[in-house]
Structure 1
Amino acid sequence: MVAQLSEIANKSFDYVILGGGTAGLTVAGRLVQNTDKSVLVLEAGEANLDDPKILLGGATWGANFGNPKYDWAFKTTPQKYSNDRELIWNRGKGLGGSSAINFCAWIKPPAADIDAWEELGNPGWNWKAYQKYTMRTEEFTAATEEQLKEYAFTHNIEYRGTSGPLKTTVPLTSLPANKIFLEALQKQGLRLLHDPYGGDVTGCYEASANLDRKTQWMRSYAATAYYLPLKNKPNYTVLTEATVARVLFSEGKPGEDLVATGVEFIHGGKLHKVHAKQEVVITAGALKSPQILELSGIGRRDVLDKIGVPIKVELPGVGENVQDHTFIGLSYELDSKIAHKTADVLRDPEVAKEHARLHVAGDESLYRLGITAFSYFPLQLGSPNATDAIVNEVTKYINDKKKSEKLPPGLAEQYDIQLRILKDKTLPEMELIAVPTYMTFKSAPESGKAYLSVLAVLQHPFSRGVVHAKSKDPLEHPEIDPHLFECSQDLDIFAENFKFARLVANTEPFKSGFVREMDPGPEVQTDEQIKEYLKNFSSTCYHACGSASMLPREKNGVVDSELRVYGTKNLRVADLSIAPLEVAAHTQATVYGIAEQMADILLDSA
C-alpha cells in the first residue's frame, strides 16, 4: 500500500509532510480528503500495518518499547539531579508513530491550560478551538447497559465527538481495583466527575480509551483513522523507511524569508531528493522536529556552528523550552480473595497467546482492558500543609531568576502562568492513575498474583530542558537533556504527590483491597527517602513538548500562530513540539487537535 522510491525521488508534490506519526498522518489525511492537491508523507519507520503487536492495543502497555521496529528508544544525557541516571524516552517509529505504541489513554486537559497558549501570544489557540478540533477527530461509543450496571460511566455527548475517524470507548467492564481506587479518592475530597472532557478535569473519573468496538476492540490509531481509509486516493503518497536529512530552500535575496522547495531524505542507505510546490510540514515530534530544523540551518547559532551546518535562520528557541511529565509508581499486591482482572497474567506467554486468540475471535479477553481510572487535583487538596511553603519557594525561585536576568526571553511569562496555576485551588497540579498491572521498577512481580500500580505524575515542571542535534548526521539521535529536577521545587511537588498517593492507598476501601505495598515498600518513609526513590525510579511519561514553541519570535518562539517557522514563507511545524506550556493531561488528544488545526490553516491558505 505504501509507495516505492521510484514514485517519489526527484518528483514534485504540493505538500511534503516529514513524519508519518500521529500528527503527520492526521494533517495528510485531512488534506487529501478536502483537496485534490498532492500530498507526500515521508516516514522513517516501517509501515507496520495489520500488525497484531500494534492492533492488540488494550493491556499491551509498553510491550513494544525497546523494539527498534516500533520504537526510537531515545536516551537522555545523565541527569545531574536524578543521581546521574540516563533515561530512555520511548517514541513510536512507523506509520502512526507513538499512537501505535502508546497506552491508548484518551485524556483532555483543563481549559485553562489551553487558554494559556493564547495568552502567551497565539491568537486562535484556545479551549474553544481545541474542543472543536479534538471532537472532530473522535467517534465516541458510550458504555453498554451491561457496563452501566457495574459502574456509572457517565458522559455528556456535547463534549464527545461522534463522527471522527478515531474511535474511543469505555474499555471492557469496570474493574474492582478501579472502583476501590476511585472511592478512596472521593473519601480524600476529590469529586467524581460526570464528564471530564469539557474543560473541567479537577476530580476523578473513568476515562475513555482508543479501542474500536466495531473491529473487536482493536487499537484505533492514526494509521487506522487517517491513512487506511484514504490510502487509495490518487493524491495520497506515503514512503516508509525514509529518514529526513534536511529541508531545502531556494536562494532568495538577503533579508527575505526563505522558501522551502524540497527535502533531502535517506532511503536504502542513499540520499534522495523530493520537491515541494506549496508547503513543507515537519511533524516528527518534539524530539526529532528540532533536529530536522537544525540540520536545515535553522536554530541556535552555537548549535549550528558546533555541528557544522551553515546558518540560514537564527532562531535561538529551536530545541529549547523542553518540558515533560514525569511519573513514579507505587505497586500494591491485591487481595486474592477478590476476582481481579489485571494484565499481570499476560506475562505468561501461553496465557497471552490464548487471550490474543480470544480477542481476534471476538470473545472477551484481557486485551479489552484499558487504563481508565484517572484523577487530577490542585496542590492545595493533595498537600494542604505544604502548599504555602512550596508556593513561597517557587515564587522566590522565579523572582531570583528574573532579578539575575538568567531567564531566556519568554520564560518569565510562562512562569507567571505556572505560578498562577500552582496557587489556584481549582486547577490541577497533581495526577494519580490506577494501572491494573505491575508497573514499578524497584522490585519484580510474583507469578500468579494480581497488582494495582498507582502512578503519580508531575504536571507543570518549572525545569526546562533542551533537545539538539549532536552532528549533521541525520541518522544520529539528538542529544536530549530534560534537566530533570533542576528546579528543586519540581521534586518537592512530586514528593507531595507521592505522599498523597500513599494516603489514598491507605484509605478505605482501597486499604482493605491490598495485601502489601511492593514498591517502594515500608522502608521508604521520610521525605529524604521518598525523594531518593523519585530520583532513582521515576520515568518520563512520554509527553515532551516545547522544543519548537509557538510564541512570538522575540520571546524565543520558533513558529507563529499559523505554525509557520519564523524566517520562512512555507515551512511549518505541527506536533507537540509547538506547545509552549505543558498541559495537565496525557497528550495524545492534544497532538490530534494540533494536527487538525494545522490542516484547517493549510486548507484556508491553499
Structure 2
Amino acid sequence: MTEAHPADQADILRRAAENQARLTAELKPAYNFIVCGAGSSGSVVARRLAENAAVQVLLVEAGGSDEAESVLNPALWPTNLGTERDWGFTAEPNPHLNGRALPMSMGKGLGGGSSINVMVWARGHRSDWEHFAAESGDARWNYQNVLDIYRRIENWRGAPDPSHRGTDGPVWVQPAADPSPIAHALLDAASELGIPTFDSPNGRMMESEGGAAITDMLVRDGRRQSLFRAYVQPYLDRPNLTVITGATVERIAFEGNRAVGVDLLHGGARTRIGARQEVVLSMGAMQTPKVLMHSGIGDEAELRRVGIPVRQHLPGVGANLQDHVSFGCTWEYAEPIAPRNSGSEATLYWKSRRELTAPDLLFCQVEFPVPSERTAARGVPEHGWTMFAGLAQPQSRGRLRLRSDDPAAALQIDANMLSDPADMTAALACIELCRELGNARAFRPLVRGEVMPGDLRGEALKDYVRDSAVTYWHQTCTAKMGRDSMSVVDGSLRVYGVEGLRIADGSVLPRVTTGNTQAPCAIIGEQAAASLRAAHQL
C-alpha cells in the first residue's frame, strides 16, 4: 500500500474533520445503509459500502472519539476498563464461580473493542471456520475462503509467508516488536514440553494441533491501529460516509416486516433516521440482541414477559452466550522486567486431552500480575507476570434477558461460566499445563518463584479455579448463524423472518473462535459487506 507523507496525512485528517463536521451538522432523513456500531465489524461494513461513491452510508456509534492517549498508547489499554470507553457490563452472581459477579468489559467508542483491547490479531483455527461453514451450509465461511480474505485485508509486516499472509490490505499486522525476555522464555518453555513453536500464531500453527509463538498485533510505529482507523479513518473525507458519535440505537424501525431505519437517542433527543436499503447491527454480543429484543425480535415468551409486542419469534436471540474464561497463574520476577508493547507478547494454544485434533486451551502471557478480586487477597508480587490460562472452546452457555421494556434498563447477563462439568475438567488440565510451563527451566533465570496457585490439589484447586476465573472479554454467539431453530441469521447474515436487516458482529458466531475475537470480527464485516454489495448490485 502507498503510505502518505506525514504532512499529507495531517492534511487528510484536517479535511476529514471538516467534512464530518459538515455532514453531522445536518443529518439526512434517510441513507442507503445504516450501520449501527463502529467496532471491529461495523467499521469494515461501513468502509466497504462507502467505497461505492453513489451509496450514502451512516455509521452510528454510541461512544465517543478514539483520540485519547489511553487508546493510542498500547501500554495503556488497561486504563480504559471501567471508563466511558467501556460499556461496563456485569454478569449476574454465578454459583459456579463461588457466587462471583464478573465485570464484562466491551469497547464503547470509535473502534469498539479494537480501541481498548490488547491489540492481538488471532485468526481462529481452521476447525472454527470449517464448523461455521457446516453450521451455515455456506461454503463462503470455510477455512480456505476465509484465508483468502485474511490475505487480502492484511498488510503483514513479519517474515514473508505468501501462502498465508497478504501485504497490500488495510490492516497493518506485525509481530510484537522487540519482545521481552519473558516472552521468549515462554517459547523456550513450550519447546521443553514438546509443544512446537512457530514464527507466527496465524499461519500453519492454526492449521495444526497448536503451538506457541510471538503474538501478532495491530500496532504501528508504537501506536494502536484499531480497525476503525484501518478501515474508516481513510474515508472520513468522503461525502458519502457520515459518522455520528454519542448516538444510542434503541430500536429498529419497521414498516410491515421490513426494517426501514433506526430510532436513536442522540444529543438528548430521540430521532428516527431512515434506511432506504438495509440496516446492519454491529453493536456486539450484548447490545445487538438487546436492540433486537426491544424491536420485538426474540423469544416470544421473553418478550411478552416484559410487555414487548412480538414481531418475530426467534428464540436464539440472547441465547448461546459464550466467552473465553481464564485462570491466572502468577510468578514473581527475580528482577523487575518492564512490560513491552501491550504487555502481552507471547501466546500458546494447546490441548487438554491427547486425543483432540485441535487446541481447546488458550494461553496469553501477561507481563504484569493479573489477579482476580478474590485471588488478590492471596498476595500479589510487586513485580511479576501472569499466564492468562483459559478455555478456548468452553462448553458452558449463558443467556441474556431484558429486565423491562425500557431500552435504558441494563441487561440481565447470566454468563453461566463453568456450569458445564467438562469446563472444570479442562480448567484443571489448563492450570496443570500452565504451571509446567511457568516452572520450566527456561524461566528460572527470570523468576524467583511461583506465587499462585501453588501445589493445590482436589477441591482446593477447584476452588482456586472458581475464585480466579475472569473473562477474556470475548463475549460472542448471542445471535448465531445457522439453520436450526435457535439460529438468528443465515449464511448471508440476514435476520430470519424479516427483511432489510442483517447482523455483522461477534454475536453471529455459532461458537467462540479459538483465540481472540478481533480478527474474526473483521472477517464477519467483510462477509457482510460482500453479501450486501452482491444483493444490491453495488
Q: TM-score w.r.t. structure 1 length?
A: 0.81
Which residue of 348, 352, 365 maps to 1:379? 352
> Corresponding residue for 2:223?
218
Which residue of 383, 396, 402 maps to 1:463? 396
**What CA RMSD, in Å, does the superposition of the two structures yield over aligned residues?**
1.8
Name the SS of the counterpart of 1:432 in structure 2: strand
> Corresponding residue for 1:55?
72
Is it true that 1:601 corresponds to 2:534 in the alignment?
Answer: no
> Corresponding residue for 1:200?
207
Asked if structure 2 preserves the Cα contact closer than 8 Å seen for 1:334 and 1:452, the reply is yes
> Mapping of 1:241-280 within 5 angstroms?
241-251=246-256, 258-280=257-279
Q: Distance in 2 between matches of 1:218 and 1:179?
A: 22
> Corresponding residue for 1:573?
503
Name the SS of the counterpart of 1:225 in structure 2: helix
> Corresponding residue for 2:333?
334
> Corresponding residue for 1:103?
118
Which residue of 240, 243, 247 maps to 2:245? 240
Q: Distance in 2 between matches of 1:211 and 1:235?
A: 29
Q: Distance in 2 between matches of 1:378 and 1:286?
A: 27
Name the SS of the counterpart of 1:485 in structure 2: coil
CA offset at residue 157 of structure 1?
Answer: 3.4
Is it true that 1:156 corresponds to 2:161 in the alignment?
Answer: yes
Which residue of 40, 43, 50 maps to 1:25? 43
Is it true that 1:39 corresponds to 2:43 in the alignment?
Answer: no
Which residue of 483, 488, 493 maps to 1:558? 488
Asked if structure 1 preserves the Cα contact closer than 8 Å seen for 2:24 and 2:243, the reply is no
Q: Distance in 2 between matches of 1:115 and 1:496?
A: 26
Q: Distance in 2 between matches of 1:374 and 1:78?
A: 30
Asked if structure 1 preserves the Cα contact closer than 8 Å seen for 2:260 and 2:275, the reply is yes
Asked if structure 2 preserves the Cα contact closer than 8 Å seen for 1:243 and 1:475, the reply is no
Name the SS of the counterpart of 2:163 in structure 1: helix
Asked if structure 2 preserves the Cα contact closer than 8 Å seen for 1:60 and 1:103, the reply is no
Q: Which moved more, 1:162-171 or 1:92-101?
A: 162-171
> Corresponding residue for 2:145?
129
CA offset at residue 445 of structure 1?
Answer: 4.5
Identity between Structure 1 and Structure 2 (%): 30
CA offset at residue 446 of structure 1?
Answer: 4.8
Asked if structure 1 preserves the Cα contact closer than 8 Å seen for 2:41 and 2:524, the reply is yes
Instruction: Map Cα deviations across residues 189-220 of structure 1 (whole Å, 9 max, x no partner).
Output: 1011244323425111112111013xxx2100
Q: Distance in 2 between matches of 1:543 and 1:490?
A: 17
Q: Distance in 1 between matches of 2:267 and 2:405?
A: 19
Cα 1:106–1:83 change in 2 (3 A) is: same
Asked if structure 2 preserves the Cα contact closer than 8 Å seen for 1:141 and 1:168, the reply is yes
Q: Which moved more, 1:539-548 or 1:169-178?
A: 169-178
Is it true that 1:120 corresponds to 2:135 in the alignment?
Answer: yes
> Corresponding residue for 2:4?
none
> Corresponding residue for 2:369?
438
Q: Distance in 1 between matches of 2:492 and 2:110?
A: 25
> Corresponding residue for 1:354?
none
CA offset at residue 269 of structure 1?
Answer: 2.4
Q: Distance in 1 between matches of 2:517 and 2:186?
A: 23
Instruction: Point out 4+ residue stretches in structure 1 off by more than 6 angstroms.
Output: none
Name the SS of the counterpart of 1:274 in structure 2: strand
Is it true that 1:229 corresponds to 2:228 in the alignment?
Answer: no
> Mapping of 1:390-469 within 5 angstroms?
423-424=355-356, 426-441=357-372, 442-443=375-376, 445-447=380-382, 449=383, 451-469=384-402
Asked if structure 2 preserves the Cα contact closer than 8 Å seen for 1:122 and 1:550, the reply is no
Q: Distance in 1 between matches of 2:448 and 2:200?
A: 32
> Corresponding residue for 1:535?
466
> Corresponding residue for 2:421?
488
Q: Which moved more, 1:469-478 or 1:114-123?
A: 469-478
> Corresponding residue for 2:446?
513
Q: Distance in 2 between matches of 1:26 and 1:428?
A: 29
Name the SS of the counterpart of 1:333 in structure 2: strand
Is it true that 1:138 corresponds to 2:154 in the alignment?
Answer: yes
> Corresponding residue for 2:12?
none
Asked if structure 1 preserves the Cα contact closer than 8 Å seen for 2:33 and 2:279, the reply is yes
> Corresponding residue for 1:83?
98
Structure 2: state its 5+ residue gaps.
1-16
One-letter amino acid of the structure 1 residue matched with residue 224 of structure 2: R
Q: Distance in 2 between matches of 1:115 and 1:219?
A: 31
The alignment of Structure 1 onto Structure 2 pairs a total of residues equal to 509
Q: Distance in 1 between matches of 2:137 and 2:220?
A: 35
Q: Distance in 2 between matches of 1:596 and 1:172?
A: 28
CA offset at residue 370 of structure 1?
Answer: 4.9
Asked if structure 1 preserves the Cα contact closer than 8 Å seen for 2:439 and 2:450, the reply is no
Q: Distance in 1 between matches of 2:470 and 2:165?
A: 31
> Corresponding residue for 1:325?
324
Asked if structure 1 preserves the Cα contact closer than 8 Å seen for 2:482 and 2:490, the reply is yes
Q: Distance in 1 between matches of 2:165 and 2:361?
A: 24
Asked if structure 2 preserves the Cα contact closer than 8 Å seen for 1:462 and 1:490, the reply is yes
Asked if structure 1 preserves the Cα contact closer than 8 Å seen for 2:77 and 2:342, the reply is no
> Corresponding residue for 1:397?
none
Structure 1: state its 5+ residue gaps.
143-153, 252-257, 344-365, 382-422
CA offset at residue 558 of structure 1?
Answer: 0.2
Instruction: Map Cα deviations across residues 109-166 of structure 1 (whole Å, 9 max, x no partner).
Output: 2211110111123312111222222333321212xxxxxxxxxxx5523312212222
Q: Which moved more, 1:370-379 or 1:69-78?
A: 370-379
Which residue of 49, 61, 72 maps to 2:87? 72
Q: Distance in 1 between matches of 2:361 and 2:489?
A: 30
Instruction: Map Cα deviations across residues 79-119 of structure 1 (whole Å, 9 max, x no partner).
Output: 12111111100000011101000001111222111101111
Name the SS of the counterpart of 1:263 in structure 2: strand
Asked if structure 1 preserves the Cα contact closer than 8 Å seen for 2:122 and 2:517, the reply is yes
Q: Which moved more, 1:234-243 or 1:116-125?
A: 116-125
> Corresponding residue for 2:300?
301
Q: TM-score w.r.t. structure 2 length?
A: 0.91
CA offset at residue 456 of structure 1?
Answer: 0.7
